[in-house]
């Protein structure tokens, strides 16, 4: 059986802990590999390699750093098919969805290629008598990313591409559930010309996470996962003086106004609610039709669409979605559906007992649809992270606006309407970080920033876009004055603009 170690100092190394985690193929339920779980000493080894390599990389001019990323983008693009196949086999999402995962990561790397411009500071000539002031952006040093199972290509690239472009060295701790693609990305970075030690991949569990958070030489950490762990990572990182950006759970609503194109809205809900088996932080998990007539039409159209969803192995190009990531997660999602029934919600499509012929041991579940879900129910309050859509009926626009605004999560939200004034009002007032107008999954493109509000995000800087450059650099401001014309004698006041 394949053993996956770590990538430290420019090469794959065997794990030393003697502890391993199983890597499953969700299509069949089989264990296809074992991944080493790092010790604190192995984290430290990666940090030492990064710390030694980083000064020379920071001294490399940004255009040359950008060229490494350009070659990396080309290599990843050339290997798209093999990377997508590996990703699908470890995660369970379809190959087409896996390619989207990789492509969205490439787009952030493409943004980071602009680093010669993005890291430029500011300059003011003549800020005072004979005084010039300028600022510069400099890398932090060694930084780290802790990334989730559901996007094993995209989110690692969202983290390490801008960090490395800025001149930092990077420690990546990917999910131990699907580590194959992150390891391969590190190899491709080396092939692109990245110096050894600048990108290290250390696989592990909580022991590795805590070692990263406690290491004094790691200056910043980015995290994506559940809100409980995001808060833990943020608090522990802050306690050790680290910069932190931590993104957590979501309960993304889609508001359907009475004037919406109902067929368009249903198409959007099917794709955004059930794509990737709902294992997306940007998945729509709550549909909010406004008015009784809208709700009746919506549910009547949704039921046959959910019932006809095609679930299949990840390699089936005609499948709408594949299996869930692990049996444990499958049972958790099924338990939420059981809970919804107990809470009094109306289960109008039940996919709990779906079995895939020929893949009976795979982690499959059919689409589930709840109607008449109420805000006090746990299936509304908590993130299910599976192919389960809840319909929460709102009597009017004001109630529909309140639902996502008052929810503890504030990641993404969408409104479907033909009314420009309603859309504009909604976008301005809703208490959520990312808004879609007739767009069900409002993931910003790479040169804007991605991030949620409330318990969906901890920290004041978001992922990718300009915020990534700010997060992975520190600003130094220089005030200079040269001797010519300088008055003699000591000055005892702070310089002012007068």
Supply the residues annotated as catalytic.
281
Tokens standing for residue 130: 């004979």
Report d(CA 468, CA 487) in Å as an integer. Answer: 43
In degrees rounded to 5, what are phi and psi of residue 469? -65, -40
CB–CB of 340/374 below 8 Å? Answer: no
Give the helix ranges, DSSP H, for 360-450: 378-381, 397-406, 420-429
Task: Give the whole-angstrom CA distance, residue 458 versus residue 362.
Answer: 35
SS3 286: strand
Residue from 287, 359, 373 nearest 324 by CA: 359
331-354 core/surface letters (b: 16 or more CB in 10 A; e: else): eebbebbeebeeeebebbbbbbee
Cα 56 from Cα 76, distance rounded (Å): 25
Nearest to 274 by CA among 144, 441, 147, 125: 441
Q: Are 6 and 202 a contacting pair, CB within 8 Å?
A: yes
CB 290 within 8 A of CB 254: no
Please give the structure tokens belonging to residue 345: 């919600």
Q: Please spell the DSSP secondary structure of 37-56, one letter per residue.
A: ---HHHHHHHHHHHHHHHHH
DSSP string across 297-353? HHHHHHHHHHHT--B--TT-TT-SB---S-HHHHHHHHHHHHHHHHHT-EEEE--TT
Q: What is the three-state SS of 87-146?
A: HHHHHCCCHHHHHHHHHHHHHHHHHHCCHHHHCCCCEEEEEECCEEEEEEEEECCEEEEE
Angle at 77 between CA 279 and CA 189, to 5 degrees: 90
DSSP 356: -
> Do 158 and 150 touch, CB atoms closer than 8 A?
no
CA 174 to chain centre: 12
């Amino acid at each position: 059986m394949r053993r996956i170690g770590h990538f430290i100092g420019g090469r794959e190394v065997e794990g030393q802990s003697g502890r391993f985690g199983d890597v499953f193929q969700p299509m069949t339920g089989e264990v296809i590999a074992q991944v080493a779980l790092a010790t604190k000493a192995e984290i430290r080894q990666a940090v030492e390699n990064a710390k030694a390599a980083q000064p020379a990389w920071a001294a490399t001019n940004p255009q040359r750093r950008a060229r490494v990323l350009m070659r990396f983008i080309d290599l990843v693009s050339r290997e798209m098919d093999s990377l997508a196949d590996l990703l699908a086999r470890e995660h369970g999402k379809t190959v087409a969805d896996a390619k989207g995962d990789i492509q969205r990561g490439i787009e952030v790397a493409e943004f980071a290629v602009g680093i010669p411009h993005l890291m430029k500071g500011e300059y003011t000539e003549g800020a005072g008598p004979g005084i010039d002031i300028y600022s510069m952006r400099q890398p932090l040093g060694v930084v780290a990313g802790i990334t989730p199972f559901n996007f094993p290509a995209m989110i690692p690239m969202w983290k390490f591409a801008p960090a490395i472009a800025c001149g930092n060295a990077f420690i990546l701790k990917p999910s131990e559930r699907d580590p194959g693609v992150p390891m391969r990305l590190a190899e491709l970075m080396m092939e692109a010309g990245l110096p050894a030690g600048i990108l290290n991949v250390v696989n592990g569990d909580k022991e590795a996470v805590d070692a990263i958070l406690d290491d004094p030489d790691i200056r910043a950490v980015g995290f994506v996962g559940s809100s409980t762990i995001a808060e833990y990572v943020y608090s522990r990182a802050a306690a050790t003086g680290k910069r932190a950006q931590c993104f957590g759970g979501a309960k993304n609503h889609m508001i359907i106004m009475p004037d919406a194109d109902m067929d368009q809205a249903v198409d959007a809900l099917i794709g955004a609610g059930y794509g990737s088996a709902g294992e997306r932080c940007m998945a729509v998990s709550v549909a909010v039709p406004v008015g009784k007539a809208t709700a009746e039409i919506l549910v009547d159209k949704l039921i046959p669409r959910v019932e006809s969803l095609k679930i299949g192995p990840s390699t089936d190009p005609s499948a709408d979605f594949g299996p869930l990531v692990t049996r444990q997660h499958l049972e958790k999602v099924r338990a939420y559906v059981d809970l919804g029934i107990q809470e009094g919600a109306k289960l109008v499509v039940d996919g709990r007992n779906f079995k895939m012929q020929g893949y009976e041991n795979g982690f499959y579940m059919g689409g589930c649809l709840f109607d008449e879900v109420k805000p006090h129910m746990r299936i509304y309050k908590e993130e299910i992270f599976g192919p389960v859509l809840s319909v929460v009926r709102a009597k009017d626009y004001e109630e529909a606006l309140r639902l996502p605004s008052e929810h503890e999560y504030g990641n993404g939200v969408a409104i479907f309407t033909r009314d420009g004034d309603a859309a504009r009002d909604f976008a301005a007032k809703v208490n959520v970080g990312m808004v879609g107008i007739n767009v069900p999954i409002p993931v910003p493109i790479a040169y804007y920033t991605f991030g949620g509000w409330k318990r969906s995000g901890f920290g004041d800087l978001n992922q990718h876009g300009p915020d990534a450059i700010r997060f992975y650099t520190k600003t130094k401001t220089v005030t200079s004055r040269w001797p010519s014309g300088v008055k003699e004698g000591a000055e005892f006041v702070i310089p002012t603009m007068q």
